[in-house]
Amino acid sequence: MDVGFQLSYAAVISIGAFFPYMNWWMPRETKLGDFLWKTTSMSLSAQLGTLPLTTFYFHQFPTLFLLANLIVIPMSSVLLIGGLILACLQWIKPVATVIGFLLEKFEWLMNEFIVRMSNIPFFSDQIRYGNMDGCVAPSTDYCFHHSIFYSKGKSLFLSWTDFALLACVNRYDSRFF
């Protein structure tokens, strides 16, 4: 299975599982505070789900993900909405051309921000360990957090079963022989 697909799938599931709970951890009184906390809790939720995969495949942990995502999440939302508007207005050529040009420049700006953030020396920490070690600790952490949010026995069993299946699949992966 493609790593990008796995990361995307893990992020979406994790946001669905954790964001509704994390969103209420901090009271907000202003719209700016609400926006910042929603963006932060969404970023933390996604990171919690993708952490086992990023440490396993890339042997690194992104230390500045919160700062980067405070910028990237709103920018990607603008791109998504702009793309939908472009799809709806594609038959009006002059308008579609302008929207497409603006979206292209905005996407370039977002990608340039990501590249510049990744060039910061402490943007990510390299993690050095063997085959499954890189997956066991973050996955155990995931199961622990999952059991906190869903304290019922069935959910705890399912989260640990997911971990066990992940460990078994990776154990028999041909790259480790």
| pTM confidence score | 0.63
Does residue 86 have a pLDDT over 90?
yes
Q: Which of 177, 167, 94 is CA-nearest to residue 137?
A: 167
Mean confidence (pLDDT) of the chain: 78
Q: Residue 92 in 3-state DSSP?
A: coil
Measuring CA to CA, which residue among 115, 35, 117 is closest to residue 77?
35
Q: Is residue 87 part of a domain?
A: yes
User: Tens of pLDDT along 119-155?
Assistant: 887 666 666 555 554 555 555 555 555 555 555 444 5
61 within domain boundaries:
no
In-domain check, residue 155 = no
Closest CA to 56 of 123, 1, 131: 131
Asked if the structure places residue 166 within a domain, the reply is no
User: Domain tally for the chain?
Assistant: 1
Q: Tell me, yes or no, whether 18 lies in a domain.
A: no
Residue 77 lies in a domain: yes
Phi and psi angles of residue 128, each rounded to the nearest 5 degrees, phi first = -115, 115
In tens, the pLDDT along 14-62 reads: 999 988 888 888 888 899 988 888 888 888 888 888 888 888 888 777 7
Cβ atoms of 122 and 63 within 8 Å: the answer is yes
Range of the domain at 109: 71-126
Q: Is residue 50 part of a domain?
A: no
Is position 64 within any domain?
Answer: no
